[in-house]
């Protein structure tokens, strides 16, 4: 083996060592990325519906309810539900309860002696359910169907 060969071997070894380091670095990056994906993605998938339907709201009903709300309720409660003649429905204060059942009951029977009319004869129970989902979504921070 002459001097020239020896240099070539050294060079080859150096290049080979560098390649191995690069390969190992890439492996570590992949492992870290895979770990992050495994950690973060399930959180997104599991977390998202919980965040956006904090009270078990059904987005399609919310949108359906919004249509009816804009036609029937917006004159008194405002297009964004923040209140005109009727009270603000977007805040955390409820005169007649904030569960879905209570809101449905308020809408169905109205509030006698106030300006809030009963809707039980005008709207069917499915429509009232949708509106109550929409009404509840107004005070749900993660929803922005009307305030967008
Ligand atoms: C003519 C005006 C008017 C219309 C139309 C109207 N509301 Fe009301 N609404 C009121 C008033 C006034 C009150 C407050 C009642 C009270 O003082 O207890 C109220 C109260 C409410 C409440 C109770 C809020 C709370 O704090 O507990 C809900 C829910 C509600 N309205 C939903 C609706 C929905 C849904 C519609 C449409 C289907 C609608 N309202 C249509 C006037 C109206």
pTM as predicted: 0.70
**pLDDT of amino acid 74:** 97
**pLDDT of amino acid 47:** 43
**pLDDT of amino acid 33:** 83
* Ligand 1 centroid – CA 124 distance (Å): 17
* Ligand 1 centroid – CA 120 distance (Å): 13
CA–CA distance, 110 with 106 (Å, rounded to integer)? 5
Ligand 1 pocket check for 125: Cβ under 6 Å: no
Ligand 1 pocket check for 72: Cβ under 6 Å: yes
Among 113, 115, 125, 134, residue whose Cα is nearest residue 71? 134
Q: Are 93 and 102 in contact (CB under 8 A)?
A: no
- Look at residue 78 and give its three-state secondary structure: coil
Ligand 1 pocket check for 87: Cβ under 6 Å: yes
- Owner of token pair 């890439």: 26
Q: In the chain, which residues have pLDDT < 50?
A: 46-53, 146-148
- Look at residue 110 and give its three-state secondary structure: coil
Among 82, 49, 75, 58, residue whose Cα is nearest residue 131? 58
So what CATH class is 59-138? mainly alpha
Ligand 1 pocket check for 106: Cβ under 6 Å: yes
* Ligand 1 centroid – CA 145 distance (Å): 19
Ligand 1 pocket check for 95: Cβ under 6 Å: yes
- What whole-number percentage of the chain has pLDDT above 90? 50
């Amino acid at each position: 083996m002459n001097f020239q060969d020896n240099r070539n071997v050294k060079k080859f070894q150096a290049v080979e060592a560098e390649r191995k380091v690069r390969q190992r670095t890439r492996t570590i990056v992949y492992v870290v990325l895979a770990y992050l994906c495994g950690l973060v993605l399930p959180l997104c998938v599991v977390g998202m519906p919980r965040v956006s339907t904090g009270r078990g709201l059904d987005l399609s009903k919310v949108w359906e309810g919004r249509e009816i709300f804009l036609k029937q309720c917006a004159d008194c409660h405002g297009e964004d539900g923040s209140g005109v003649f009727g009270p603000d429905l977007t805040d955390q204060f409820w005169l007649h309860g904030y569960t879905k059942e209570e809101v449905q009951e308020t809408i169905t029977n109205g509030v006698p002696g106030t300006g809030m009319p009963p809707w039980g004869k005008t709207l069917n129970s499915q429509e009232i359910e949708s509106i109550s989902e929409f009404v509840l979504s107004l005070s749900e921070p993660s929803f922005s169907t009307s305030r967008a």
